[in-house]
Amino acid sequence: MKNPIIKFSVLLALMFLSACKTENANTKENDTLTIENPYLGQKPPGLTPIPFAPGLISTEIYEYDGAFSKDMKAFYFIRRGEENKKSAFYEYKYNETNRKWEKSEIASPWIGRPVISPDGQTMHLGDNYLKRTESGWSELQKLEPPTVSNDSMYIMRLSSSANGTYYFDTYKENDPTFPIRYSRVINGKHEEPKALPKAINTGTFLSHPFIAPDESYLLFDAEREDGFGEFDIYISFKQKDGTWGDGINLGDKINTNAWEASASITPDGKYLFFSRNIGSDDFENVDIFWVDAKVIYALKKE
């Protein structure tokens, strides 16, 4: 290639192709922060749990009870100890205009542990709930009897199936034996709550249930003799005859000698979210973890 003009032209062409490749690579990298990767731009985990969105969600203080909206365009969680606040309820929402996830405070102090109904129209917050409206979430509303709590007992976490059945804990101060209960919709109203069987209600501090939309399994946490530590996460599968199978410990990859609780599955069914105490006994540092949901589906096969 002796002609300097031809040589220069080839060089320009190579530089142009290199620039295009760089631009495409950058575009692809930036796209991971958009809704095409809906988990706040995070690289999904495998079969080993990792903290969710370090620096954004999981920090050096107390975060727990993460929940995605049905369309995966909003993430809700609770944080304690930030900016001299005892606790606050936050939302990361995807902005369609600038294609970014934006954080906002919904309530301070927090108003309950968020679990969103399968149809996406109700955000359950223990004893309370919000309804989806055209302009966003409604004002805070209170559960009606018979599932409403009384002065000596309250609901920490409530989850609903696709047919409207409630599953909830019934925490009572100084009483570690409170059971997990359920309440079906009968003739348009929720029936008087009933305790789930001993297959689930065995052990103490039975808390934070999460029911699958089709009621095929129930996640919960408890303190049991077969546990790995303070509190562990369990799963019970619905049997072919309609009964509940014995609670199965999720194993030493999920449960440690620390406190694990508040498990849930993302609306797309792909990931298990839960909270873990990684600090001291004073719960100074609790993070939200996530892991591939295959870890629970494999237990059903076993």
Q: What is the pLDDT of residues 166-207, one digit of tens each?
A: 999 988 888 899 999 999 999 999 999 999 999 999 999 999
CA 144, CA 147: separation in Å to the nearest integer?
Answer: 6
Percentage of the residues of the chain whose pLDDT score is greater than 70: 84
CA 38, CA 202: separation in Å to the nearest integer?
Answer: 37
CATH of the domain at 196: 2.120.10.30
**Residue 140 is assigned to a structural domain of this protein:** yes
Residue 41's nearest CA partner among 86, 113, 108, 92 is: 92
**Residue 44 is assigned to a structural domain of this protein:** no
**Residue 18 is assigned to a structural domain of this protein:** no
Q: Give the pair of three-digit tokens for residue 216.
A: 């095929």
Mean predicted lDDT score pLDDT of the chain? 86
Count of the separate structural domains present in the chain: 1
Residue 53's nearest CA partner among 69, 25, 32, 24 is: 32
pLDDT for res 36: 58
Contacts of 151 (CB under 8 A, 6+ apart): none
pLDDT for res 148: 67
Burial class (CB in 10 A: 0-12, 13-18, 19+), 96: exposed
Question: What's the whole-model pTM score?
Answer: 0.86
33: how many CB neighbours lie within 10 A of its CB?
A: 15
**Residue 176 is assigned to a structural domain of this protein:** yes
State the pLDDT confidence band at 20, using cuts at 50, 70 and 90.
very low
For residue 176, the enclosing domain spans: 51-298
Note the pLDDT tens digit of each residue in 54-97: 999 999 999 999 999 999 999 999 998 777 667 899 999 998 88
**Residue 100 is assigned to a structural domain of this protein:** yes
Q: Give the pair of three-digit tokens for residue 115.
A: 């679990």
**Residue 8 is assigned to a structural domain of this protein:** no
